[in-house]
Amino acid sequence: MNITILCIDDERLILLSLRDQLTRIFGSDYTIALAESGEEALAVLSDLEESQVTVPVVICDQVMPKLSGDRLLSQIHALYPQTRTVLLTGLAQLDHVVYASTTLTYIVTSLSPGTRLI
């Protein structure tokens, strides 16, 4: 069974850094999929579901154009309630955190070795 973690951020360098950090932490236990927008993330999730790939965790930046991270993760939670959602941001505003808290599993500002998301 293929297990994938989906990472979403509109800034490519941050997205690649997150992928590298997750690979260091989890090794080859998980495939890391990347998306640079909310629309792309929803398409990736649909494709993965169609291919019967399990996505236990989605990690998303808050500040993105068109669709903010909290809104995107709420949509993902509605479509895939079994998937844990993580809002990764250094710029969280209280109203976004309150909105997202009904569907998020975690809100974090950094990942460190030993962090368990699953």
What values do phi and psi take at 55, rounded to 5?
Answer: -120, 90
Residue 114 lies in a domain: no
User: Up-side HSE of residue 35: CA atoms within 13 Å toward CB?
Assistant: 25
Q: Which domain holds residue 35?
A: 3-108
DSSP state for residue 114 in the 8-state scheme: T
Tally of structural domains, the chain: 1
Residue 100 lies in a domain: yes
Angle at CA of residue 79, ends 17 and 52, nearest 5°: 70
DSSP state for residue 29 in the 8-state scheme: S
pTM, whole model, 2 decimals?
0.79
Per-residue pLDDT of the chain (118 residues; tens, 9 = 90+): 589 999 999 999 999 999 999 999 888 899 999 999 999 999 999 999 999 999 999 999 988 889 989 899 999 999 999 999 988 876 555 555 555 555 555 545 555 555 555 5
Strand partners, 13: none
30: domain CATH number is 3.40.50.2300
| Cα separation, 101 vs 70, whole angstroms | 9
